[in-house]
Every structure is written in C-alpha cells, then in structure tokens.
Structure 1
C-alpha cells in the first residue's frame, strides 16, 4: 500500500509516460506549446476527455523499474471522507467544523462548508453536513 505521494524528476516521469502510456504522453506533447500561457487550462480541458482513464499506480508504477520507496514521517493523513476531515479539523465549542461564512444557533457536532461570499444561516441541527458551493 502507498499513500499516493510521488516525487519525480521531470525527465523521469516524461520517459515513464512515453514508455508505459504513449498515447497519454502524445496528448501532453500535442498541447505543450500551451503550457504556461493563458490557454493552458482550456488546452488541458479539451484533451482530457480523450485520455485513457488509468491511475498512475496502474499505468506507470506497476510497470516501471526505476522506482525507489522511501519511508517518511511527515504528518500525512488521508482526508478521503467527511468524517476524517471532521476528525482532523479544529472544532468550535459545540463540536462543529465551520469553513464558511455562517451564522449558527444550536448547531452541534456538524460540518459546514461554503463559499465566503455567501452567508449560510443554520438553526437547530446536530450531526449534519452542510455544504453549499455553486
């Protein structure tokens, strides 16, 4: 098992892509002139739908021989669920995690996420997730 944290030299990952995922490497190469320009985001979005749906683990790491594993202790945690995020984040005196522009009354043990531009008003909830994003 790995945490999915990879560090590469640019040349190494490009070579691995060309070797193990040549179609993906070709797609990146075709839009390379758009990198670091105002058109980069649009170029990546337009080619994304045509890319093979494969993870780095399956597409490269399982096939590549030029790999080193280094143990590390750096406080990493998998925040793959709302519960793990709730465990990780600081809570207010009522046990709430609030990352939003919010007014609350009688809110307990809940998570509130939202845009800072929009006010969220909550009354009388316990053990809820409130998420508001456009």
Structure 2
C-alpha cells in the first residue's frame, strides 16, 4: 500500500512538472529551434556557400567536403561555424528589432506626482504624520 502511494505521488509530481507552462514552452522552443536550424542550414548551403566556394580556391570542391588527411573533414566543421554565425546574426537582428518595438510601446505615462506642488504636499503630509506620532508617543510617556 505504501508503494502504491509512492507511485501515485511520483506520477502526480511528474504530471505537475510535465504540464507546467515552462516545460511546454521549452518543448515548443526546441521544436521550432530545430526547424529553424534546418532552414538556416539550407540557406547556408544554397545561398551563402555558392558565394564562398569560389573564394576558397579549391576547384571542384565545396567547403563542406574539404578534408585534411584521411577522415578529418574540416569542411563540415567550418560549415557548422557558418551556420552558427548565421543563426546568431539573425537572432541578434530579430531581438534588437523586438527591443526597439518594446521601447516604443513603453511610452512613459506621466503621473500626477510629477507636479512639484503634489510632491510638496505629500512631503508635508508625511512630516505632519510623523510629528503627530511623535507627539502622541510623548504624551503617552508623560501620562
């Protein structure tokens, strides 16, 4: 019976963990990230690499197929670096654009406390409250 309670407790804890919003959001982000990575790899192979291949000076070879010695394909590593840099650049530009949009939305709301008279009144009210409390505490001590 104790084992059944432990199992049901474990399942309940796992269910709470698995269906929290953060875990589901993370799963969605991983799936979208994987798809985004495939799109970037395709973009690099189809658009960027045809522009870079003539610059590397190795005729008849693509960057991703360049090898140093037997079995060391340095081109795949360089292609992965280009993929990473492309993803980083796109994310940087997208996040920067979102930050600019957010800054435009966060227009400061002018509050009533910006008026000098209101600020002075609030300070005076606070000082009067503190003075009243001090006087009351002295009166209580004298009695």
Q: What TM-score bracket applies, with the shorter chain setting the length?
A: under 0.3
Quick check: which has more Rg, 1 or 2?
Answer: 2
Q: Which has the higher helix share?
A: 2
Structure-1-length-normalised TM-score: 0.20
Larger strand percent: 1
Please report the TM-score for the alignment, with normalisation by the length of structure 2: 0.19
